[in-house]
Amino acid sequence: MSTVATVPEGTVNPYALSHLDSLESEAVHIFREVAGEFERPVILFSGGKDSILMLHLALKAFAPAPIPFTLLHVDTGHNFPEVLEYRDRTVEKHGLRLHVASVQEYIDAGKLRERPDGTRNPLQTVPLTEAIQQHRFDAVFGGGRRDEEKARAKERVFSLRDEFSQWDPRRQRPELWQLYNGRHAPGEHVRVFPISNWTELDVWQYIEREGIELPEIYFAHEREVFSRSGMWLTAGDWGGPKEHERTEIRQVRYRTVGDMSCTGAVDSDATTLDAVITEIAASRLTERGATRADDKMSEAAMEDRKREGYF
């Protein structure tokens, strides 16, 4: 594991940092700022690669002490079993505390209603917001990256939310130098995005460099899938396939991991990290474009969800 800053080849300056070292240092700085200024921070942890990366960076930021944060997962009830298993194993391995907000419980209690299209991604906002209020979390780390989506490209590292978790893009605080302003009123909280400046490729390169373990569904495997809206979805209790949709066995992997109803797999034979990185570098599609049905709903789908308090 090469954790020490390495001098990139071909650079004359002995004090240059590689781009991964720069991004790592920036993220660690952000974690420590939050630890220094907030009372009750929490990391949103889904078992997806971006939240796994966040946790890894947080562990490094405070070593040899444990991380001074708890974890929160919004379980849609349609999560991939491999990912939930990974989540629980990781929590136990590092002796962490995990809060789970369950969309299924909200539906069972009649507080949320299933959407006609079966996707539960937009339903996560209410359980997330109520968990934040209930536990009085004042800083909530999210794994959002600016390269993912055009509304996220306008997001701050420290993003102020009101008591309803709402985001107002017209009233964001200018963010200058490395001076993050986390002041907030009681009831408000700040969403913090430590990996804002990472691209999908950076995430994978760093995962490879650090030898970070991932849920196996990120690597090519055989799976029973069916096609909907141009994406390969996994058959399951969540409501697929419908009568006219036929399943088939394909060699696929997941580029992102979310709700099973709206996260598509991509055809792939990349079974190793190296192969995944090569595949991503050559891909002509963004990860959300390739795998997320919810972002295709409208041009401003992500902005609208974010305004309402989504991740």
User: Hey, which residues between 133 and 172 contact other proteins (CB under 8 A)?
Assistant: 146-147, 149-154, 160, 169-170, 172
Residue type at 26?
A: E
Ranges within 54-93 binding other proteins (CB under 8 A): 60-66
Smallest gap, in angstroms, from Cβ of residue 187 to other proteins?
13
Size of the site for other proteins (CB under 8 A): 81
- The answer to whether the CB of 261 falls within 8 A of the CB of 239 is yes
Query: What kind and span of H or E run contains 59?
Result: helix 49-62
Q: Give 110 or 298: the residue with its C-beta nearer to other proteins.
A: 298
Burial class from Cβ neighbours inside 10 Å (0-12, 13-18, 19+) for residue 135 reads: middle
| Cβ atoms within 10 Å, residue 74 | 26
Closest CA to 228 of 266, 267, 264: 264
Identify which of residues 157 and 220 has a Cβ nearer to other proteins in the complex. Answer: 157
Please identify which residue in 115, 187, 211, 300 interacts with other proteins, judged by CB under 8 A: 300
Of 226, 222, 258, 231, residue with least CA distance to 242: 226
Q: What is the per-residue binding string for other proteins in 255-294, x denoting contact by CB under 8 A?
A: -------------------x--xx--xxxxxx--xx----
Assess 110 for contact with other proteins (CB under 8 A). Answer: no
Q: Does 246 sit near other proteins (CB under 8 A)?
A: no
Q: Which two tokens stand for residue 122?
A: 């937009």
Q: Which of 9, 39, 222, 237 lies at the binding interface for other proteins (CB under 8 A)?
A: 9
Residue with tokens 């009831």: 187
Cβ atoms 63, 32 nearer than 8 A:
no
61 or 131, CB closer to other proteins? Answer: 61
Give the number of other Cβ atoms within 10 Å of residue 284's Cβ.
Answer: 6
Residue closer to other proteins by CB (options 238, 310) is: 310
> Judged by CB, which is closer to other proteins: 21, or 294?
21
Report how far apart the first and last C-alpha atoms of the chain are (Å, whole number): 31
3-state secondary structure of 74: strand
Site for other proteins in 196-215 (CB under 8 A): 196-197, 199, 201-202, 205, 208-209
| Binding test (CB under 8 A) with other proteins, winner from 84, 106, 176, 255 | 176
Q: Which of residues 11-50 bind other proteins (CB under 8 A)?
A: 11-13, 15-26, 28-29, 32-33, 35-36
Percent helix, strand and coil across the chain, each rounded to 5?
35, 20, 45
- Residue 308 as a binder of other proteins (CB under 8 A): the answer is no
Q: Based on CB atoms, which residue is closest to other proteins, 33 or 50?
A: 33
